[in-house]
Chain A
Amino acid sequence: MNKERLPRDVLAMRIAKELEDGSYVNLGIGQPTLVANYIPPEKLVIFHSENGVIGVGPMPEPEDEDPDLCNAGGQPVTTIAGACFVSHADSFALVRGRHLDVAVLGGLQVSETGDLANWIRPGRGVGGIGGAADIARGAKRIYVMMEHTTKDGERKIVRRCDYPLTGQGVVHTIFTDLAVIRVTPQGLVLLEVAPGWTPEEVQALTEPHLTVSPDLREIAL
């Protein structure tokens, strides 16, 4: 089977479409930061970075980098008009206090009950949790953005995570390069599949049972 999967940027566009006008959103380190590139100008999404920036703007040209301004991944950023700065204590108060509408986080594994593992691979022995555990537990909705399987073809959507957890029962929707899957109390529901893929093919690469939504659609932008 050598079918085409969605490129990362297309996946980022699909997630960007999901973010509502006026919402406050945290983007995790790594590929979730791509989502910010695909918010149309008529839509205002205010990005929170846990290092105390509310209103993160686009990346600057190198000559415009500010030495005191970065995102949670340490990359130089700009701010939008109306941005503000807070300390880490205040930044995580708003996280735990459930004020963020959405956080888009990367994933190593997601379980059928919405457990998320994304901070350490077993075997390394040491890892950084950063703000992931607070954000996974604190945002109103957690969207996971990840490849459907590992580079070696292992399934990442599993019955039970065997990697150490970041959050228990926290994931709302999984966006992969093959599918959009909602976590519900009745289990995982397949909402959308990548163009050219069938539900059966997606199921074969997913460990837990997927209930196919009666409104199943092809992923569209």
Chain B
Amino acid sequence: MAGRPVYHNALEAIAGINDGATVMIGGFAARGVPTRLVLALRDRAPKDLTIITNDTSGGWGGRVDCSLLVEARLVRKVIASWPVPASTAVVTPLEQQLRAGEIELEVVPQGTLAERIRAAGAGIGAFYTPTGVGTPFAEGKEVRSIDGQDFLLEYPLSAGFALIRGFRADTLGNLVYRKAARNFNPPMATAARVTIAEVDAVVPAGDLDPEAVVTPGIYVHRLLVPE
């Protein structure tokens, strides 16, 4: 094997994402979103997806985010920290579908979301976090007092697929990121059965500084590069 498979066509890169799939999608406020993979997923149009992503609020100056998948009615459930815009000026497709009972939403504090994803990738069965104690996010969760401080029990989040955005990859799938486009991409890369990374370029193994690699290629199964 010469390394990780490299795709130029985004639809080919997402082969296997079928109805009912659970898909993690990187990005924060439309930065670090694997836009070609998201648009290809919309074109492939599998139904009843569960989408795990930070935000689906849309409206980031016309940039692509996961709200497009909700708008296309491909999503059965969203797990996110920021599902709707702060402003109530626009009723988003997600809110319309929530009101009609057509979609399910789980709002998770951002740090808990990141840690649940990290935990899944790291083989952790569950963890106690101080976030959300005494708030609506504690409802139905075990509270444990440890050294006089209360914590909530939280479970990992894994997925069949992770669609992530890197800056550069090498042929073994090692990834580096660019600035704040890193965000949820590294933990998501670890937490899916199949991780597909959209990057600007693939360089020969050895061309990335080993000290600078953020996501080791062991987590990355497919690479998408520009045509």
Contact = CB atoms under 8 A, between A and B. Distances in A.
- Residue of B30, B105, B109, B185 ringed by the most chain A CB atoms within 10 A: B109
B29 A131 contact: no
Contact of B183 (A51, A67, A126, A128): A51
Given A127-B84, A133-B132, A50 B181 contact: no
Interface string B9-29: 000000000000000000011
B84 A126 contact: yes
Contacts of A85: 177, 179-180, 182
Interface string A123-153: 0111111111111011000000000000000
A89 B88 contact: no
A167 interface: yes
Given A51-B183, A53-B180, A68-B32, A137 B132 contact: yes
A95 interface: yes
A139 to B, nearest CB: 12
A130 B95 contact: no
A69 B109 contact: no
A129 B84 CA distance: 10
Contacts of A134: 109-112, 131
A92 B135 contact: no
A128 B57 contact: yes
Given A85-B177, A129-B81, 20 more contacts: A29-B86, A50-B111, A52-B180, A67-B31, A69-B179, A69-B180, A70-B29, A70-B31, A85-B180, A87-B182, A87-B186, A87-B214, A126-B84, A126-B105, A128-B107, A129-B107, A129-B108, A132-B109, A137-B130, A164-B136
12 contacts: A51-B180, A52-B182, A68-B178, A68-B179, A89-B117, A91-B114, A126-B95, A128-B80, A130-B81, A132-B109, A134-B111, A135-B111
